[in-house]
Amino acid sequence: MSTAVKLLAFDLGAESGRAMIGHFDGSHIQVEQTHRFANAPVRVGGSLFTDALYIWDQIQVGLQKSAAQYGAQLASVGVDAWGVDFALLDVPGHLLANPHHYRDHRTDGMIELACSRVPKDEIYAQTGNQFIQFNTLFQLFSLVKHNPQTLQTAKSLLMLPDLFHFWLCGEKANEYSVATTSQCYNQLKRDWAWELLARLDIPAGIFQPVVQPGQKLGKLHPWIAETAGCLKAAVVVPASHDTGSAVTAVPVNESDFMYVSSGTWSLVGVELDQPIITAESLAFNLTNEGNPGGRTRFLKVVPGMWLLQQSKHEWSRAGREYSYEELTCLADGAPECGSVVDITAPEFIDPGDMPTRIRNFCRKTNQPIPQTDGEVVRCILESLAYHYRSLLEDFEYLLGKRLSVIHIIGGGSKNSLLNQMTANCVNRPVIAGPVEATAVGNLLMQALGLGYLSSVGEIRSVVRNSFQPNIFEPHHSARWEDGYQRYCRVSRIHRN
């Protein structure tokens, strides 16, 4: 390639959204941020919404800023975002309502109600998805029960990244990787789970054709292209689920690895040729999601940096402003109080005063109570590391083999203390990076769609060429073994 092609990714996360330019020369990629904006759900009355119009406005700002630098050089644009959330559109293609945010409480009790119609094992057999109450299936079933007129009026369902692709170019489609997060998609038949949807009275007509990552949807709307000054850019869908893009950019050589896509949520799993949909995988509540190249992400979705993010927010409200680096330093210097929390406990799901909830959990489980901010952070990070080990043991049991290395990617991979804790706890090397795995996976899948690359293997080769990972060797000891057994006891006590 004589000159580097310019690609544009919009990476939408729980705390922020970013416009990222990829400079790709055929064997290396460099990324450059051209725009960043805060992103948070909006509460109206008792409901929580995603502000889709604000995000769309910021996407347009990002386009304009990117085009101001690179103009006609921009070859393509693609969007990734979190899974499960969606928008409903009417016949002309207008939003019927503000999209709800997955943390909204309209899905409380919906798993139990849906399973009273369709047994849990039958839902899992069709979809292969982990049961979480905010999955698209249960959001839709809440509309069936409480707002059926909205579903009756709806013409189209678009997952969030699908919505922004539609607004960019006018083409409606559901991208494969994000569709498979919905619990409305049949993993084995590679089609929507029509039988399940019918039994739950969810209208089949709202679902769109499913397209694969790398698909060219079309050109930017002329008014967008003219306003932004990027007339030649195509809309190319990446793996539109942010974890799908991130895992695509894992710089692996080996096959026996576990990945942790670390952000607000930790998505912990392995990569497989085929879904695993069995009674055992259901008992472990593990999920199967689609990835480029026909691969399956077999994983568990658990809270990640969420507890730390909410603690940081609470301390900021109290006048104690910390950067994440400062919080890590406080934890590193804090005495080991020996307390751990079950990070999956229901009391940690909602936004709020996380330090107080952590102390209450420790009090309830008869543990020493973390006193200082540093002790709270250490408690969070050690609990995460122990939980990663518990998931590693689950995957090794189900797969019948040892996983030799842990790859941590995404924003959380910058936390060297957590990386070292994880290596120590699991007694395996941890390879951290790239930090920008989601944006890189998005950009390189666009490059594949434009014909510059031909496989996920080539994408990963480019990642290895372009980024130097940080390697954390384990320093396992009786202290980590004792701590893990304590974590298992505390988690078991709490869940019982």
pLDDT by 10-residue block (mean), the chain, 496 residues: 87 93 97 96 95 97 94 94 98 96 96 98 97 97 96 97 98 98 96 98 97 96 85 93 96 89 93 96 96 94 94 97 96 90 93 96 95 97 97 96 96 94 96 96 98 96 96 93 93 62
**Catalytic positions, written as ranges:** 242
Tokens representing 146?
Answer: 């409480």
- CATH number at 165 reads 3.30.420.40
Q: Are residues 269 and 182 in the same domain?
A: no
Residue 390, judged by CB atoms within 10 A of its CB (0-12, 13-18, 19+), counts as middle
Q: Are residues 486 and 366 in the same domain?
A: yes
Q: Are residues 91 and 42 in the same domain?
A: yes
User: Domain residues for 474?
Assistant: 250-433+454-496
The pLDDT score that the predictor gives to residue 491 is 86
- Determine the residue type at 107: T
Number of domains in the chain: 2
The pLDDT score that the predictor gives to residue 166 is 98
* Domain assignment present for 443: no
Domain boundary among 200, 224, 242: 242
CA pair distance 363, 337, nearest whole angstrom: 13
Q: Are residues 127 and 265 in the same domain?
A: no
> What is each CA distance from 111 to 23, 106, 132, 183, in whole angstroms?
45, 11, 8, 12
Residue 448 CB coordination number (10 Å): 22
Tokens representing 196?
Answer: 């399940």
* Domain assignment present for 42: yes
* Domain assignment present for 438: no
The pLDDT score that the predictor gives to residue 493 is 59
CA pair distance 374, 315, nearest whole angstrom: 12
Residue recorded with tokens 């979705």? 301
* Domain assignment present for 439: no
Q: Which residue from 196, 220, 239 is spatially nearest to 81, judged by alpha carbons?
A: 239
Q: Are residues 267 and 290 in the same domain?
A: yes
> What is each CA distance from 270 to 244, 278, 492, in whole angstroms?
12, 16, 25
Q: What is the pTM of this model?
A: 0.93
* Domain assignment present for 150: yes
Q: Are residues 285 and 164 in the same domain?
A: no
- Determine the residue type at 447: A
Q: Are residues 137 and 286 in the same domain?
A: no
The pLDDT score that the predictor gives to residue 71 is 86
CA pair distance 265, 411, nearest whole angstrom: 11
* Domain assignment present for 411: yes
Domain boundary among 199, 218, 242: 242
Domain boundary among 215, 242, 269: 242
Q: Cα angle vertex 121, ends 118, 123, to 5°?
A: 50
The pLDDT score that the predictor gives to residue 231 is 72
The pLDDT score that the predictor gives to residue 432 is 97
Q: Are residues 380 and 428 in the same domain?
A: yes
Q: Are residues 269 and 393 in the same domain?
A: yes
The pLDDT score that the predictor gives to residue 253 is 76
213 with 446: CB under 8 angstroms? Answer: no
The pLDDT score that the predictor gives to residue 225 is 87
Q: Residue 87 forms beta bridges with which residues?
A: 158
* Domain assignment present for 445: no
The pLDDT score that the predictor gives to residue 15 is 84
* Domain assignment present for 53: yes
Q: Are residues 255 and 134 in the same domain?
A: no
Tokens representing 425?
Answer: 């706890």
pLDDT tens, residue by residue, 143-173: 999 999 999 999 999 999 999 999 999 999 9
Q: Give the max Cα distance, the chain.
A: 65
Q: Are residues 324 and 190 in the same domain?
A: no
18 with 35: CB under 8 angstroms? Answer: yes
The pLDDT score that the predictor gives to residue 221 is 93
Q: Are residues 272 and 316 in the same domain?
A: yes
